[in-house]
């Protein structure tokens, strides 16, 4: 860890952060509003950040609401994550062209541009560490992921609020950012404490902190308090579903689950691997299947899901062929097709595969859970299926 003192910047200094990163050769990527949600994309101007907006989230529910006092990072996890940039939804991994009677392979692995992503949270960095294990460790290293990862600069943000769907505290993945960043910003009132996490971060900080006020130990205590306070809130606040995604034909909520006793949203991970593997025949899988649409949204938004499939695409003349990789989902029939048979032909079997891999099989494969508690799969499930509720139901059925 570089021995550089933390310092303060103001909201007005955020543009200098963008400028310093671009001067260092990075394309800047940051949160912004598109189609009613906060997503990540290229952004050069701090004015394009989602100032004054807060995201309300619950099962199958996401709305941005205006809060004039909200800073540019009051939102939490949206539909995008770092996965979208390191392992994009679709990419060409090989390209072949017929020339003078033989096939020539074209070079598809050109050096990717260096990206600086401003805004990832603790759960995003935890997901990145999980994807690093998948793509960079073991016998097979993914060269496309590796090239992008080596050129990635991260300006992480400590959350000071959580959505109703967040449960990172119960997965030990947040809310405090503790590692894996180049620079870390903690919002305190209308200013930010900037901490440095790498040599690359130090270089940017050298320029950014010109004329900045250095932090005192009391300032750093204040910054730590932001995450501590939030963690306490997450562990104790009762969660009451604000809306259910199931609606009547007239568009009004069919149920607000008035009977559900409000409890803090969390995932009880005790013995979870054995709980799930020992209950593969639980009735709950069929009950979930009666609601699940097999749409695959949960796998698309999950920052750790890494399945892909490969397709060869030829031009009409037959002179050029590309091999395309695109995200795949265990909720499709093709995903499990083996030698003309499909061992997971039902929605119950597909959901069970997703949940048991994420929360149990992953522990055997990669030494950790595949879930960081970001809550995206709950928010973006069109029928509001909530894995924390499903695990609790399976635990109850097994007891
Ligand atoms: S399973 Fe759901 S809560 Fe867990 S990391 Fe994936 S999207 Fe986030
Ligand atoms: S759990 Fe929800 S998001 Fe996932 S496949 Fe089923 S309906 Fe779609």
Phi-psi map region of 80: left, alpha, beta (phi>0 left; psi -120 to 50 alpha): beta
- Ligand 1: distance of its center to the CA of 75 in Å? 17
Q: In this structure, are residues 112 and 148 in contact, taking their beta carbons and an 8 Å threshold?
A: yes
* Contact assessment for residue 27 and residue 115, using Cβ atoms and an 8 Å cutoff: yes
Is 295's C-beta closer than 6 angstroms to any atom of ligand 2?
yes
Is residue 168 classed as helix, strand or coil in its secondary structure? helix
Ligand closest to 388 (CA) is 1
Within 13 Å of residue 210, how many CA atoms lie on the same side as its CB?
Answer: 7
The residue ranges of every structural domain in the chain are: 7-93+108-236, 272-305+329-398
* 276 vs 370: CA distance, rounded Å: 14
Tell me what pLDDT residue 339 has: 85
In the chain, DSSP assigns E strands to: 7-10, 27-34, 37-42, 53-58, 61-66, 90-99, 102-106, 115-118, 152-157, 183-188, 191-196, 308-314, 320-327
Tell me what pLDDT residue 237 has: 84
Q: How far apart are CA 281 and CA 284, in angstroms?
A: 8
Tell me which residue has its CA closest to atom 4 in ligand 2.
298
Low-confidence ranges of the chain (pLDDT < 50): 242-259
Residue 336 has what pLDDT?
82
Q: Is 332 left (phi over 0), alpha (psi -120 to 50) or beta?
A: beta
Packed helices 347-356 and 387-398: angle between N→C axes, nearest 10 degrees: 100
Dist. CA 386 → ligand 2 center (Å) = 9
Partner residues linked to 142 by β-bridges: none
Question: How far does the centroid of ligand 2 lie from the alpha carbon of residue 130, in Å?
Answer: 22
Nearest CA to ligand 1 atom 1: 371
Q: How many Cβ atoms from other residues are within 10 Å of residue 69's Cβ? A: 8
Ligand nearest the Cα of residue 385 is 2
Report the pLDDT value the prediction gives residue 109, as an integer from 0 to 100. Answer: 73
Closest by CA to 121, choosing from 150, 154, 153, 158, is: 158
**23-57: per-residue pLDDT in tens?**
999 999 999 999 999 999 999 999 999 999 999 99
Residue 329: enclosing H or E segment and its boundaries? none
Centre of ligand 1 from the C-alpha of residue 373, in Å: 6
pTM comes to 0.92
Protein residues with CB under 6 Å of any ligand 1 atom: 301-304, 358, 371-377, 387
Which pLDDT score, from 0 to 100, does residue 329 have?
A: 95
Q: What is the pLDDT of residue 165?
A: 95
Ligand lying nearest the CA atom of residue 305: 1
Residue nearest to atom 4 of ligand 1 (CA): 371
CA distance 376 to 381: 8
**What is the Å distance from ligand 1's center to 359 Cα?**
10
Of 211, 210, 213, 184, the residue nearest 196 (C-alpha): 184
Question: What is the distance between the terminal CA atoms of the chain, rounded to a whole angstrom?
Answer: 47
pLDDT of 243 reads 42
The best mutation among 287, 330, 382 to test binding of ligand 2, ranked by most ligand atoms within 8 Å of the C-beta, falls on 382
178 CB near ligand 2 (under 6 Å): no
Give residue 240's pLDDT: 63
Concatenated DSSP letters of 291-319: T-----HHHHH-SS---EEEEEEE-TTSS
- Torsion angle, CA of 197/201/202/208, rounded to 10 degrees? -120
């Amino acid at each position: 860890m570089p021995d550089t003192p933390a310092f303060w910047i103001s909201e007005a200094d955020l543009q200098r952060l963008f400028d310093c990163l671009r001067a260092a050769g990075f394309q800047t990527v940051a949160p912004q509003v598109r189609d009613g949600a906060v997503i990540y994309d290229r952004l050069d101007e701090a004015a394009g950040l989602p100032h004054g907006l807060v995201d309300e989230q619950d099962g199958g529910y996401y709305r941005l609401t205006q809060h004039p006092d909200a800073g540019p990072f009051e939102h939490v996890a949206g539909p995008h994550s770092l996965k979208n940039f390191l392992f994009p939804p679709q990419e060409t991994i090989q390209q072949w062209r017929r020339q003078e009677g033989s096939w020539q392979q074209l070079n598809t692995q050109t050096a990717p541009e260096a990206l600086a992503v401003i805004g990832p949270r603790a759960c995003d960095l935890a997901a990145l560490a999980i994807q690093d294990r998948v793509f960079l460790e073991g016998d097979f290293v993914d060269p496309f992921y590796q090239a992008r990862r080596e050129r990635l600069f991260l300006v992480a943000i400590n959350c000071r609020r959580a959505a109703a769907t967040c449960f990172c505290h119960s997965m030990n993945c947040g809310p405090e950012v503790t590692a894996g960043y180049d620079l870390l910003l903690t919002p305190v009132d209308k200013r930010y404490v900037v901490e440095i996490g790498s040599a690359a971060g130090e270089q940017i900080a050298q320029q950014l902190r010109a004329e900045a006020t250095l932090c005192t130990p009391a300032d750093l205590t204040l910054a730590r308090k932001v995450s501590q306070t939030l963690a306490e809130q997450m562990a104790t606040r009762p969660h009451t579903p604000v809306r259910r995604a199931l609606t009547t034909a007239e568009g009004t909520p069919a149920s607000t689950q008035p009977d559900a006793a409000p409890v803090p949203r969390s995932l009880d991970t005790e013995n979870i691997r054995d709980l799930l593997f020992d209950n593969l025949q639980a009735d709950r899988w069929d009950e979930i299947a009666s609601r699940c649409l097999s749409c695959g949204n949960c796998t698309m938004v999950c920052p750790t899901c890494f399945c892909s499939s490969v397709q060869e695409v030829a031009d009409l003349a037959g002179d050029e062929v590309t091999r395309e990789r695109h995200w795949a989902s265990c909720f499709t029939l093709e995903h499990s097709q083996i030698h003309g048979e499909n061992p997971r032909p039902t929605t119950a079997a597909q959901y069970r595969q997703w949940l048991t891999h994420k929360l149990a099989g992953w522990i055997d494969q990669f030494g950790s859970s595949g879930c960081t508690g970001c809550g995206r799969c709950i928010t973006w499930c069109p029928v509001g299926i909530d894995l924390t509720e499903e695990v609790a139901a399976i635990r109850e059925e097994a007891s």
